[in-house]
Structure 1
Amino acid sequence: MHKHIYDITGMTCNGCRSMVEKKLNEITEAKAEVNLSHGTAEISSTKHIHIEELQSKLNELGGQYAIHEHGNGEHAPQKTINDIPDSPSNHYICPMFCEGHDKIYDNKGRCPVCNMFLMPIEQVDFNVKSYHIAPNTSHAGKYYCPMMCEGDKVYDEFGSCPVCGMNLEKIPETRLQITFSCPMHPEIVSDKPGVCSICGMDLVANQPIEEEDNVYLNWKRKFFLSLIFTIPVFLLSMGDMLPGQPISKIIPASINGWIQLLLTLPVVFYTGWTFFVRGWTSFKTWNLNMFSLIALGSAASFIFSLVALIYPDILPSEMRGHHGQIHLYFESVVVIITLVILGQLMEAKAHSKTNSAIKELIKLTPAEAVRLHNGKEERIAVSDIQKGYILRVHPGDKIPIDGVITNGNTAIDESMITGESIPIEKKSGDTVIGGTINGNHSFEMKAEKIGNETVLSQIIQLVNEASRSQAPIQKLTDKVSRIFVPVVILIAAVTFVAWLFLAKENSLSYAITNALSVLIIACPCALGLATPMSVMVSIGKGAKNGILIKKADALEQLQKAKILVVDKTGTLTEGKPVVSMYKGSEKFSNKDVLQFAASINKHSSHPLAQAIVNKAKEEKLVDIDVTKFENISGKGVSAQLFHLKAVLGNLQLMHDIRVDIPNVITEEIENLQRSGASTSYLSIDNQFAGFIAVKDKIKANAREIVQQLNENNIKVIMLTGDNELAAQAVAHEVNIDTFKAKQFPYDKLNTIKSLQKEGKIVAMAGDGINDAPALAQANIGIAMGNGTDVAIESADITLLKGDLKGVSKAIHLSRLMMQNIKQNLTFAFLYNVIGIPLAAGILYPSFGILLSPMIAAAAMSLSSVSVIANSLRLNLKKL
C-alpha cells in the first residue's frame, strides 16, 4: 500500500474540502483523506498515482483547486508537542505563534507581541500556523449559514442556505462608527472631535444609530400579512362545523371555494414562497428536513384543492361531502405556512439578540481620547490613536486604549475583565486596558495596543466566534422528516400503482385522487403545531417566573445539561462588598474603629471604602470631620482626626509606618482572609487601633441550590477572576468541588470548549463582561438579571432575579417542555398512522369506503386541537 501526502490549494471552506475529497476518491483503488486546516490530502493506493492524474481529476471541479507535492514551501512544516524541548504541561505559549513555536512562558498572561491570552501548551495544536480567534474582519456585514454547512463560506446578501435551508445570519461589525456634531448646530457633523465652525463649541460624540434588523422585520411583515389572509380562509373552511352551519347560510358553497382560493394565493406565492423554494432545494440535495414536509404537504393540498375547485367532475363521487361539494384544503395550506413563518420570526428575533451582545461590547470603547502633544492637550478620536501616543486619562473616564502608565497612579475598575468589583491599584509602569474605568486620579499613559490587538477587541472577537460556532440544535421535526417524508412518498407511490392496476373503473382518477389524499393527510398541521405551541407556552410560563428565554433551542438543550459552569461574583455572591467584621484594640472600641474608618473614607468612591461608610450609616454612627487627607497609592489613606493622626490601609502600609500588629490579631486576620475577606488595618498615632474585614457576601440560597443541582446529577464548576484564596473560600462555603481562580475571559471560554470536546452539554451562568465569550460559547448561556448588558445579550436565558434558584427552575421547565413536545408529536403521528392508510383506501376493498374529505378535515382539526390543549396544560405545572 502506497501512502503519499500532497498540498491542496484553493480550498476555502468545508464544502470545498468535501468536494475535493469526494472527487479524489473517484480514482480507482485510491482512498483520500483531505484536511482543510492543514491544506493537505493523504492518499493511499495499491499503486503509485501520478500527480498529473490527480490534478486532472480535480480540474473536473472547475479548475480552482491545485495539488502539489508536500513541502514545496506553500505550507509550513508540521510540528508536534514532542518537537518542543523541555515543555512541561504547566507552561504557556501564544496561540498565534508570534515569536515562533519555541517561545514558551512560565506564567499565564498575554503575548507581548499580539496581546492574545497565552494558552496552556498541552491545549495547542502545533500542526496549524495560528489559531484564528475571530472570522475575517473583512467578512463583517456578510452572511453565513449558522449550521456551518459549507464551513466558513459567506454570502453578500441575505437568503437561505443552499444546503440546509436555514436563514443566513449576518456577521456583525466589530467597530463602532462614531460621528461628532455641535449641540447647538446639529448640521455640523465630523468624523473627528473638534470645534464647531459656527459657534466654536466642542463637538460631542453622537449616540450610534442602531441598524434595523431587516430579516426580523421582513418575517414580521410576512407573518401579519399571512395572518390577515389565514383567519378568513380558516373561518370559511371550518365555519360550518359550528352549530347551525352559519357560513353556508351567508356564503353559497359554489362561491366559498373561489374566495378561499383568492385569499390563499398571497400566502402561497408571496409570504410562504420561500418554504417551497427550500423544500425544492431539500429534494434536489436529498437533505430532507421540515421544509421538505411543509412543501410536500402544502403543495399537494393546494394542487388537489385547485383541481377539485376547477374540475370537480374528474374526481370520484366518493370524495364528495354532504352538500355534494368536494372539500378543499386551502385552510391547511395557509395555517401551516403561517405557523412556520411564526417559527422563523422567533428564530430571527433570537439571532438579532445574539448580535446585540457584540454591539454592547463595542459601545464600551469611548469615542474620543485626550492626547498630549507638544505639551498641549488635544481631543482625538480613539480610532486615530497610534502606538506610542501619550494620552491623559481624567478621573472617572474610560481608558481609551491598551497601554502602560507613564506618570501618575490611580485605582481602576477592571471588572469587565476580572469580574471583580474591587478596583485595582495602578502605578507608573503598570498596564491598563481599554474600556476599563479610571478612579479618582488623573494619569498619563502610552498607547501600546490598537485596533484588533486590544483586550476588548479580543473579547468582541471571542463572542463573535462563539456565536457563529454555536450552531442551532437540529429540530426534532427535521430528524423525523428524514424518515417520514420518504415513507409518505413511498406510500403515495404504492397507492397510485395499486389503484391504477386494481381499480375496475376510472382507475387513473382513483389512483391520482388517493395518492394525493395520502400526501394531503400527511400535511404537517398538527406536527407543525407540536413544537411551537409547547415552546410558546413554556416561554410564557418562564417569563411569569422571572426566566426570560431568548432561544427556544437553549431551553430544549437545558434538560440535557450535565455541567453547570458558574462565575463567582454576582452569581454565587452578591457582587457588593460588605463589612463582615470590625474589631478594636485595648484603647479603642469596635465602634471607634468603624467610625474613624468611615470618616476617613466618606469622600472615596472605592467599593471597600463605600462598604465601610455604609456599615457606619447602618450602625447610625456620626461622621467626624477630617483634615490633611492623603491618598497613599496602592496602600491606603491617611488623615487628621482632631489631634490624632489616623492611617487606614493594608499590611504593607502598616510595615512602612512601623506599626506592630499583635500576633493574636495576625492569626485572626489570616483566618478571615482564608474565608475570602479583604482586611484594612487602622493605626492611630502610629499605634495599632483595630481592623475591618470586608467580604463579598454569599447569596442566601447558593449552597442549597448547588446541592439541588448535584442531586439532579448536574456537576457545578466555578470559574472566577478572583485570587485562589477567595475562590477556595467561596467554593468551600457553597460545597463546590471543582473551581479555577484567576481566569481571564479566554480561560473561561477555553474550559467550556474542552468540556464540549468531551461530548458534554454545558450550561454557563454569569453576569459580567468577562463572562460574555463563555456565555456565547456554552450550549446554554444563562445571565443574571442584575449583570451587565453584554452578559445578558450574550446569553440565551436571563434570570431577572439574578438568583441561581432560577437555574433550577429553568431546568425543570426544560424537562416539562420536552415531555410536552413528545406528547404532542405522539398525537400528531397517531393521526397520521391512522389517517394515511384510510386515505390510501385500505377500507375500500372490504367496505367500499373511501376517506371522506370532511372526516379528514375534522380529524386534522381534532389532532391540532389535541396538541393545543395539551400544550396549554403546561400553565398548570409548578416550577
Structure 2
Amino acid sequence: MSKVTLAIGGMSCASCALSIEAEVKKIDGVLESSVNYATETAYFEISDDKLLDVIKSKVQSLGFSTSDELHTPTEKTSGENYLVKFYISIALSLLLFSLAMWPLMGWPNREVNWFIQLVLCLPIWAWIGLKFQKSLVRFFLTGKSNMNTLIGLGTTAAFVYSAIITVFNDASVSFGLTQKVYFEAVGFIISFVYLGNYFEERAKRKTKEALNSLFKLSSKKALVEIDSKFVEVDIDEVQKGSVLRVKPGEKFPVDGKILRGSSLIDESMITGEPVPLLKSSDDLVYSGTINGDSVIEYIATKVGKDTFLSQIIAFVEQAQGSRPKIQQFADRISSIFTPVVIAISVLTFICWFFLGPEPFWGNAISNMIAVLVIACPCALGLATPTAVVVATGRASLKGILIGGGEIIERSEKIDTIIFDKTGTITEGRPSVVEALFNNDEETTLMDIASIEQFSEHPLSNAIVKYSQDRKIPLSEPDSFEIVKGKGIIASIDEREYVIGNKLLLEESSIEFQQNLTPNEIGSYVFVACNGVHCATLVVGDKIKSTSKSVIDELKFLGIETWMITGDNEIVAEYVAKELGIEHFVANALPLEKSSYVESLQAKGKNVAMIGDGVNDAPALAKANVSMAMGTGADVAMNASDVTLVKGDLSKAIDFLKLSHGTMKIIKQNLFLSMVYNSLLIPIAAGVLVIFDGPMMPPVLASIAMGLSSISVVSNSLRIKTII
C-alpha cells in the first residue's frame, strides 16, 4: 500500500474535482481518493504502485491532465489567458450587440447582418468557449455535469440554431423555424463567465503560493563533514547522524543538536519573536532558522520529512487540501439544474410537436431552443462574480486584499477570532518602552547609545534608534568588549560602563538601585557607570494604537477573542489584560497554534486567525478564515485568505462588515437570477400561447437577458457603500 500525489490540470470548478474523485475511486485497488480544486492536487492511496498509470489514464480520459511535478513556482499564465479571452470575447460581443440592434436603422439587410454576426460569433463559441463545449460532450459521455455544462448547452444550442437559420435561411423558413438569432447572447454569456474564471484563478494561484513560499525557506544544499572535510552536498544526501557546518547568515538545512560553537539564532519562523536566541553546545536547532554571528557545527537528528519545517509544510498542505464545506451556489445546483433544463426542453418539444399548431416541427424545435437559450445562466453566472469583483475592488482601495468569493462567504459566520501577538496586535519590532535614569539623562543615554551602536544585537539597535529619535548625537567609545550572551563592557571619556542583563551586573558586583526597578514588561537592559547602577532600559514590543479599539468592537459584535503566542507567559498575560482579550495561550509552537484552532472548531466555532509570521502559517491554513498582516512574512500572506496591506488591525473589522454586506447582496442576486430563470423558461416554452398570448419574440429574450444581468450588476454596485 502506498500514497501518491499528482498535479491535476484543466479543472474548471469544484464539481470537476468531485467527478475525478468518484471515477478514480471506482478503480480496484484504490483505497482513498481526494482531489483539491484550489491547489489542483490529487491524493490517492493505492494497494499497488502499478495502479498509478491506470489512475493517470482514467483522469486523462475524463479530459484533465496529470503531472508528477508538484510545488513548482506558480505561473500566472492561466489567469492572464482568462483575462485576454474575456477582453476578446467582450469586444466581439459588443459588436454583435450593435449588429443585433442595427436592423432598426434599416442597414445592412437582415441576411448580411446575420452572416456578419455568424463570423464574429464563431471564434467566441468555437475557440474561447471551447471548454464549455468539451464539458457538454463529457456530460453526454459520462452524465457528469457542472456550471460549464449548462453554459455549453445553452451557448451551443443558441449558436447552432442561429447558424442554421443564417446559412440555410430558405429551408428554415419552409421548415417553420422561428426567424431569430442569438449570437449576441452567446458572446455575453461566455464573456462574463470568463471574467468570473479570472478572479477564481487568482484565488487558486494565491493558495498554491503558500506552499511555494514555505519551500523557499528550506535549504537546497548543506555543508557536511566527509573524511574530516566539509563538503557541499544536496540536502537529500544529508543523513541522520551527519555532522554539518552552518556559516553566519545561513539557514540551518536540517534539525539537529549543536556540537561546537555558540551563536545568536533567529527562530522567528518558530516563535514569531524578533529577538534572536543565544544557543551553544547541546542546544537544539531547527531547519529554516537562521544562524547569526558565529560558525556552528552540529549533528543532524532529523532529516527529510521529519524536520520541523517539513512538518509545517505537510500540515499547511493537508489543511489546504481539505475541501471547504461551502461551495458556490451556482456549482451546487448545476448538477440538478442541467438535466432539469434538458427535460423541460424535451417536454417543450413533445408538447409543441403533438399538441401545438402547424408547422409542428418548426414550432417544436424553435421553442425547445428558446428554452435552452433562456435557461443559460447568464444572470446566475454573474450573481456571485460581479459581487465578488465589486467587493474585492472596494476592499483593495481600503487596504484589504481578499482571495475570492468563497472567503467572503465563509467570513459571514465567524464567531471566534484568534490573534497572534508579535507583529499583529503589537508592532513586531523591539523598541524602548521604558527608560529610567539616576542622573543626567541626556549624557547617560548618549554614552549608552554610542556604545550600543557597535553591537548588532536587536536590543542594541532598539536603544540606538531610541536615542536617534531624540536627536542625541553619538560619539565613539574608547574601549569596547562584548560579553557573549550577557552584554557589553566599555569605556567612554574615562567613564566605565557595564551594560547588559542582570547576570552581567551581578558578576561585576554592582548593586541594583530600587528606584530604577522597571514597571513595563520586556527585555531588561541594566546600565552601570563607574560601578554604580545608573539606568535601566526596557526593550519590548509596543502594542499597536488600534489594537484596543478593535478588540472592544469585536466583543461588542459578540465575537470571542483569543491570543495565542510563542512569547512567554508573563508577556502574554500582560498584553491580554491590557487589551481585554478573553483567552490567551503562551509558549505556543506553530503546530500547537493550529491544534488550538482545531479544538475550537471541534466545539462548533467558526474561527478566524490573524497573524503575520511563518510560525502562524499552519494555524492560518487550518482556520475557517485567515487574515495576514501585509507587513509580515510572505508565507503568512500566501497561506492566508485575506491580507491587511499596511498591517492595520482595524481593517479586520472593515473586512467583517464587508463580508456580511456582500453576502446579503449575493443572496439577493441569486434570488433575482433564479426568479428570472423560473419565470422566463415557461414563457420561452410557449405557455402564454395557452392563454392566447404571444410566443417569446427575440427582442424580448434579448431585453430580458440584458435586464436580468443589469439588475444583478446594479445591485452588486451597492457594495461600494458598505465600507
TM-score range relative to shorter protein: 0.7 to 0.9
Letter in 2 for 1:598: A
Q: 1:291 aligns with which of 129, 148, 151?
A: 148
Q: Counterpart of 1:838?
A: 683
Q: Aligned partners of 1:764, 1:214: CA distance in 2, in Å?
A: 31
Q: 1:672 aligns with which of 520, 537, 554?
A: 520
Q: Counterpart of 2:635?
A: 790
Deviates more, 1:795-804 or 1:149-158: 149-158
Seen in structure 2, the aligned counterparts of structure 1 residues 714 and 280 have a Cα distance that, compared at 3 Å, is: farther
Q: Secondary structure at the match of 1:264?
A: helix
After TM superposition, give the deviation of residue 223 of structure 1 in Å: 4.0
Q: Counterpart of 1:538?
A: 391
Q: Which whole-Å deviations, capped at 9, do the CAs of 1:168-199 have from their partners, x for residues lacking one?
A: 8978646x9xxxxxxxxxxxxxxxxxxxxxxx
Does the 8 Å CA contact 1:593/1:682 hold for their aligned counterparts?
Answer: no
With the length of structure 1 as denominator, give the TM-score of the two structures: 0.72
Q: Aligned partners of 2:223, 2:432: CA distance in 1, in Å?
A: 38
Does the 8 Å CA contact 1:315/1:510 hold for their aligned counterparts?
Answer: no
Q: 2:128 aligns with which of 271, 282, 298?
A: 271
Seen in structure 2, the aligned counterparts of structure 1 residues 720 and 257 have a Cα distance that, compared at 3 Å, is: same
Does the 8 Å CA contact 1:146/1:469 hold for their aligned counterparts?
Answer: no
Q: Counterpart of 1:561?
A: 414
Q: Secondary structure at the match of 2:427?
A: strand
Does the 8 Å CA contact 1:470/1:777 hold for their aligned counterparts?
Answer: no
Q: Aligned partners of 1:720, 1:862: CA distance in 2, in Å?
A: 53
1:52-451 paired onto structure 2 within 5 Å: 64=29, 145-146=37-38, 152=44, 173=70, 212-213=75-76, 215-216=78-79, 219-220=82-83, 222-227=85-90, 229-240=92-103, 245-246=104-105, 248-249=106-107, 251-281=108-138, 288-312=145-169, 326-371=179-224, 378-451=231-304
Does the 8 Å CA contact 2:222/2:253 hold for their aligned counterparts?
Answer: yes
Does the 8 Å CA contact 2:661/2:722 hold for their aligned counterparts?
Answer: no
Seen in structure 2, the aligned counterparts of structure 1 residues 238 and 718 have a Cα distance that, compared at 3 Å, is: farther
Q: Counterpart of 1:39?
A: none
Q: Is 1:463 equivalent to 2:316 in the alignment? A: yes
Letter in 2 for 1:501: F
Seen in structure 2, the aligned counterparts of structure 1 residues 64 and 801 have a Cα distance that, compared at 3 Å, is: closer
Q: Which has the higher contact order (CA 8 A, sep 6+)?
A: 2
Seen in structure 2, the aligned counterparts of structure 1 residues 643 and 446 have a Cα distance that, compared at 3 Å, is: farther
Q: Is 1:760 equivalent to 2:605 in the alignment? A: yes
Q: 1:745 aligns with which of 575, 590, 594?
A: 590
Does the 8 Å CA contact 2:158/2:183 hold for their aligned counterparts?
Answer: yes
Does the 8 Å CA contact 2:419/2:611 hold for their aligned counterparts?
Answer: yes
Q: Which whole-Å deviations, capped at 9, do the CAs of 1:790-838 have from their partners, x for residues lacking one?
A: 1122222211111111111112222222222223223323322332222
Seen in structure 2, the aligned counterparts of structure 1 residues 552 and 878 have a Cα distance that, compared at 3 Å, is: closer
Q: Counterpart of 2:485?
A: 634
Q: Aligned partners of 2:40, 2:251: CA distance in 1, in Å?
A: 37
Does the 8 Å CA contact 2:36/2:322 hold for their aligned counterparts?
Answer: no
Q: Secondary structure at the match of 2:311?
A: helix
Does the 8 Å CA contact 2:173/2:179 hold for their aligned counterparts?
Answer: no
Deviates more, 1:310-319 or 1:545-554: 310-319
Q: Counterpart of 1:95?
A: none
Seen in structure 2, the aligned counterparts of structure 1 residues 631 and 429 have a Cα distance that, compared at 3 Å, is: farther
Letter in 1 for 2:99: L
Q: Counterpart of 2:545?
A: 700
Letter in 2 for 1:290: M
Does the 8 Å CA contact 2:240/2:301 hold for their aligned counterparts?
Answer: yes
Q: Is 1:649 equivalent to 2:500 in the alignment? A: yes
Seen in structure 2, the aligned counterparts of structure 1 residues 217 and 366 have a Cα distance that, compared at 3 Å, is: same
Does the 8 Å CA contact 1:223/1:338 hold for their aligned counterparts?
Answer: yes
Letter in 2 for 1:235: S
Q: 1:849 aligns with which of 688, 694, 700?
A: 694
Percent of counterpart pairs with the same letter?
37
Q: Counterpart of 1:519?
A: 372
Q: Aligned partners of 1:432, 1:852: CA distance in 2, in Å?
A: 75
After TM superposition, give the deviation of residue 788 of structure 1 in Å: 1.3
Seen in structure 2, the aligned counterparts of structure 1 residues 63 and 739 have a Cα distance that, compared at 3 Å, is: closer
Q: Secondary structure at the match of 1:623?
A: coil
Q: Aligned partners of 2:708, 2:74: CA distance in 1, in Å?
A: 42
Does the 8 Å CA contact 2:487/2:504 hold for their aligned counterparts?
Answer: yes
Does the 8 Å CA contact 2:121/2:183 hold for their aligned counterparts?
Answer: yes
Does the 8 Å CA contact 2:563/2:584 hold for their aligned counterparts?
Answer: yes
Q: Is 1:623 equivalent to 2:471 in the alignment? A: no
With the length of structure 2 as denominator, give the TM-score of the two structures: 0.86
CA RMSD of aligned residues (A): 3.7
Q: Aligned partners of 1:412, 1:393: CA distance in 2, in Å?
A: 11
Q: Aligned partners of 1:301, 1:446: CA distance in 2, in Å?
A: 70
Q: Counterpart of 2:463?
A: 612
Q: Counterpart of 1:781?
A: 626
After TM superposition, give the deviation of residue 420 of structure 1 in Å: 0.7
After TM superposition, give the deviation of residue 619 of structure 1 in Å: 2.7
Q: Which whole-Å deviations, capped at 9, do the CAs of 1:106-135 have from their partners, x for residues lacking one?
A: xxxxxxxxxxxxxxxxxxxxxxxxxx9xx9
Seen in structure 2, the aligned counterparts of structure 1 residues 146 and 837 have a Cα distance that, compared at 3 Å, is: same
Q: Secondary structure at the match of 1:688?
A: strand
Q: Which whole-Å deviations, capped at 9, do the CAs of 1:667-710 have from their partners, x for residues lacking one?
A: x43x533xxx2212222344332311112111101110111122
Q: Is 1:858 equivalent to 2:709 in the alignment? A: no
Q: 1:500 aligns with which of 343, 353, 356?
A: 353
Seen in structure 2, the aligned counterparts of structure 1 residues 747 and 153 have a Cα distance that, compared at 3 Å, is: same
Q: Aligned partners of 2:678, 2:206: CA distance in 1, in Å?
A: 40
Q: Aligned partners of 2:689, 2:113: CA distance in 1, in Å?
A: 30
Deviates more, 1:400-409 or 1:601-610: 400-409
Seen in structure 2, the aligned counterparts of structure 1 residues 826 and 316 have a Cα distance that, compared at 3 Å, is: farther
Q: 2:536 aligns with which of 684, 691, 694?
A: 691
Q: Aligned partners of 1:311, 1:820: CA distance in 2, in Å?
A: 45
Does the 8 Å CA contact 1:551/1:797 hold for their aligned counterparts?
Answer: no
Q: Secondary structure at the match of 1:625?
A: coil
Letter in 1 for 2:266: D
Seen in structure 2, the aligned counterparts of structure 1 residues 832 and 592 have a Cα distance that, compared at 3 Å, is: same
Q: Secondary structure at the match of 1:435?
A: coil
Q: Aligned partners of 1:252, 1:767: CA distance in 2, in Å?
A: 64
Q: Aligned partners of 1:618, 1:425: CA distance in 2, in Å?
A: 28
Does the 8 Å CA contact 2:416/2:607 hold for their aligned counterparts?
Answer: yes
Does the 8 Å CA contact 1:706/1:735 hold for their aligned counterparts?
Answer: yes
Does the 8 Å CA contact 2:249/2:291 hold for their aligned counterparts?
Answer: yes
After TM superposition, give the deviation of residue 355 of structure 1 in Å: 2.1
- Structure with the higher fraction of residues in helix conformation: 2
Q: Secondary structure at the match of 1:400?
A: coil
Q: Which whole-Å deviations, capped at 9, do the CAs of 1:555-604 have from their partners, x for residues lacking one?
A: 2322222222221111100111211112134xx44445433432331112
Unmatched tracts of structure 1, length 5 or more = 1-8, 14-59, 67-131, 177-209
Does the 8 Å CA contact 2:431/2:541 hold for their aligned counterparts?
Answer: yes
Aligned residues: 699
Deviates more, 1:559-568 or 1:827-836: 827-836
After TM superposition, give the deviation of residue 640 of structure 1 in Å: 2.6
Does the 8 Å CA contact 1:147/1:471 hold for their aligned counterparts?
Answer: no
Q: Counterpart of 1:100?
A: none
Does the 8 Å CA contact 1:775/1:782 hold for their aligned counterparts?
Answer: yes
